[in-house]
Amino acid sequence: MLLGQKRILVTGGAGFLGSHLCRRLLNQGHEVLCVDNFSTGTRRNIEELISDPRFELLRHNVTFPLFVEVDEIYNLACPASPIHYQFDPVQTTKTSVSGAINMLGLAKRLKVRILQASTSEVYGDPIVHPQTEDYWGNVNPIGSRSCYDEGKRCAETLFFDYHRQHKMSIKVARIFNTYGPNMRPDDGRVVSNFICQALLGEDITIFGRGEQTRSFCYVTDLIDGLDRLMNSPEEVTGPINIGNPGEFTIRELAEKVIALTGSQSKLVERPLPEDDPKQRQPNIEVAEKLLGWRPTIKLDEGLVRTIAYFDALLREHGKKITSETRVRADAFV
């Protein structure tokens, strides 16, 4: 192995974020062990990486122990969109909790640093705005989203208990809404939904009046934040918010997508889902101070790139995707 080169494990490596992270690590000269059970990750995302001799793919479910030799671990394995994590909520909780236990156990045995991909969903439907890392959140522990929200909260608990009890080197990133190429058209997330609906000339579905707000971070900015956190000084454990502080209403996002695609789609309102957060905006002062990180891609620029990705995907598949196929868990695997 070359000087400075690491063998890095990325769980969930065939997923949206994981595939971008694998690509970045390979570009930096590292060896990458990509672990995924392909419940939501897709081979398409990593197709071009498989021929790289420094890339290894292992099909494995992190709810079971893993015995490998690596120098660093990024734990990204978990369904992250409501459609996918609510499809099998018990498995979602097991992935977050048992997966964290297994990856922490591996990191403890190997004495290596481990990063947990947590989420802004730990803040629930926040009563503090924008959200800072010292806010404990407002989460429904028994709602339909709890398998994801509480699973990620428990994973954070485990990381910090391992850190305190076993003196392990940990990093915890709280990821806010992220978008870009390699998203699945069937993931039910607002950016992918709106773009696919607009490109297909379908009505764009918004929930309520579309007045709830979100902050959208382009994927390359997000991956840069994770990289900086992993390589930050030992005492920087997090949790640290990684997201774009630009705040937009869902209606504003829909109108941007319509304008950028030139679509004739109309907005159609639907009832709000259970426990849907009304506001979501990261305070990133800690990331700016400790990591020197701030997103650089503006929403319009990122949307143009993402629209191009989905347009090519739809053309490749003869634009056969519809609103119905987008909610199927096996579409476009």
> Which CATH number goes with the domain that contains 306?
3.90.25.10
Q: What is the pLDDT of residue 207?
A: 86
Tell me the H-state helices in 200-333. Answer: 219-230, 250-261, 285-291, 299-316, 323-326
Q: Do 195 and 72 share a structural domain?
A: no
Element (H, E) at 55: strand 55-59
pTM of the model: 0.92
Q: Do 130 and 49 share a structural domain?
A: yes
Q: Which amino acid is at 188?
A: G
Question: Does 36 map to a domain?
Answer: yes
Q: What is the pLDDT of residue 327?
A: 38
Q: Do 109 and 89 share a structural domain?
A: yes
Question: Does 291 map to a domain?
Answer: no
Question: Does 286 map to a domain?
Answer: no
Q: What is the pLDDT of residue 320?
A: 55
Average confidence (pLDDT) per 10 residues, the chain, 333 residues: 89 97 98 96 95 97 97 94 84 95 98 97 92 94 92 97 98 97 90 95 90 94 98 97 95 95 92 76 97 97 97 80 41 30
Q: Do 150 and 32 share a structural domain?
A: yes
The answer for residues whose C-beta is within 8 angstroms of residue 111's C-beta and 6 or more apart is: none
Other CB atoms within 10 A of residue 264 CB: 8
Q: Do 75 and 130 share a structural domain?
A: yes
Q: What is the pLDDT of residue 321?
A: 52
Q: Do 301 and 229 share a structural domain?
A: no
Q: Do 95 and 65 share a structural domain?
A: yes
Q: What is the pLDDT of residue 204?
A: 93
Q: What is the pLDDT of residue 318?
A: 65
Tokens of 322: 């519809």
Q: What is the pLDDT of residue 50?
A: 96
**Residues known to be catalytic:** 148
Tell me the H-state helices in the chain. Answer: 16-27, 43-46, 82-87, 89-110, 146-166, 190-199, 219-230, 250-261, 285-291, 299-316, 323-326
- Percentages helix, strand, coil for the chain, rounded to the nearest 5? 40, 15, 40
Q: What is the pLDDT of residue 332?
A: 30
How confident is the model over 237-286, as pLDDT tens digits? 999 999 999 999 999 999 999 999 999 999 998 887 776 678 889 999 99
How confident is the model over 119-139, as pLDDT tens digits? 999 999 899 999 999 999 999
Q: What is the pLDDT of residue 174?
A: 98
Q: What is the pLDDT of residue 330?
A: 30
Residue with tokens 């490596």: 13
The answer for residues whose C-beta is within 8 angstroms of residue 118's C-beta and 6 or more apart is: 152, 155, 156, 172, 173, 174, 175, 239
What is the number of domains present in the chain? 2
CATH number reported for the structural domain that contains residue 87 in this entry: 3.40.50.720
Question: Does 199 map to a domain?
Answer: yes
Q: Which residues constitute the domain of residue 307?
A: 190-214+245-280+297-326
Question: Does 127 map to a domain?
Answer: yes
